[in-house]
Amino acid sequence: MDPLESDRLGSFPHPREVYRLFGHDDAVATLNQALSQDRFPHAWLITGPKGIGKATFAYQIARTLLAGQTTLGTVGPDHPVARRIEALGHTDLLLLRRPWDDKASRLKRDITVDEVRRTNSFFGSHAGEGGWRVCIVDCVDEFNGNAANALLKILEEPPERSVFLMVCHNAGRTLATIRSRCRMLKLGRLAPEVIAQALADAFPDLGADGQQTIASLAEGSIGYAYQLAAEDGLPLYQELTEMVAGLPQVDTLRVMDLGDRLSRPAAEQSYQLMSALLIGLLERLIKGAATGGGATFSTGPEKTAYAHVAGTGSLDDWLLVWENLRRLFARADAVSLDKRQVILSAFNQLGSVSAGAARPLAF
List alpha helices for the chain, DSSP H.
Answer: 25-35, 54-66, 80-86, 113-123, 145-156, 176-179, 192-202, 207-217, 222-230, 233-245, 252-262, 268-291, 300-311, 315-335, 339-354
Between CA 236 and CA 243 the distance in angstroms is 11
Q: Does domain 15-186 have CATH number 3.40.30.10?
A: no
For residue 139, say if its preceding peptide bond is cis, omega within 30 degrees of 0. yes
Instruction: Please tell me the predicted confidence (pLDDT) of residue 3.
Output: 46
pLDDT tens, N- to C-terminus, the chain (363 residues):
454 687 787 778 899 999 999 999 999 999 999 999 988 999 999 999 999 999 999 999 999 999 999 999 999 999 999 999 999 999 999 999 998 888 888 888 899 999 999 998 898 776 667 689 999 999 999 999 999 999 998 898 888 889 999 999 999 989 999 999 999 999 999 999 999 999 999 999 999 999 999 999 999 999 999 999 998 999 999 999 999 999 889 999 999 999 999 999 889 989 999 999 999 999 999 999 888 887 788 788 888 888 888 888 788 889 999 999 999 999 988 888 899 999 999 999 999 888 776 555 444
Using alpha carbons, select from 159, 147, 152, 144 the residue that is nearest to residue 182.
152
Chain centre to alpha carbon of residue 128:
33
Instruction: Please tell me the predicted confidence (pLDDT) of residue 299.
Output: 82
Between CA 346 and CA 278 the distance in angstroms is 9
Q: Side chain identity at 185, as an amino acid letter?
A: L
Instruction: Please tell me the predicted confidence (pLDDT) of residue 151.
Output: 92
Q: Which residues contact 329 (CB under 8 A, 6 or more apart)?
A: 275, 279, 342, 346
> HSE (CB half, 13 Å, CA atoms) of 95?
21
DSSP 163-191: EEEEEES-GGGS-HHHHTTSEEEE--PPP
The sign of the CA dihedral 246, 253, 227, 170 is positive
Instruction: Please tell me the predicted confidence (pLDDT) of residue 4.
Output: 66
DSSP 85-120: HHTT--TTEEEE-PPEETTTTEE-SSB-HHHHHHHH
Instruction: Please tell me the predicted confidence (pLDDT) of residue 24.
Output: 96
pLDDT tens profile 24-69: 999 999 999 999 998 899 999 999 999 999 999 999 999 999 999 9
Q: How far is CA 102 from CA 106, 107, 124, in A?
A: 7, 9, 28
Instruction: Please tell me the predicted confidence (pLDDT) of residue 1.
Output: 44
Instruction: Please tell me the predicted confidence (pLDDT) of residue 263.
Output: 93
Q: Side chain identity at 33, as an amino acid letter?
A: Q
DSSP 236-249: HHHHHHHHHHTTTS
Q: Which residues contact 265 (CB under 8 A, 6 or more apart)?
A: none
CA dihedral 144, 149, 153, 154 (to 10 degrees): 10
Q: What CATH number was assigned to the domain covering residues 233-354?
A: 1.20.272
Using alpha carbons, select from 145, 157, 47, 166 the residue that is nearest to residue 96.
166
Using alpha carbons, select from 148, 350, 128, 120 the residue that is nearest to residue 249.
350
Q: Which residues contact 78 (CB under 8 A, 6 or more apart)?
A: none
96 phi, psi to nearest 5 deg: -110, 125
> HSE (CB half, 13 Å, CA atoms) of 186?
6
The Cβ of residue 191 has, within 10 Å, a number of other Cβ atoms equal to 13
Between CA 218 and CA 199 the distance in angstroms is 11
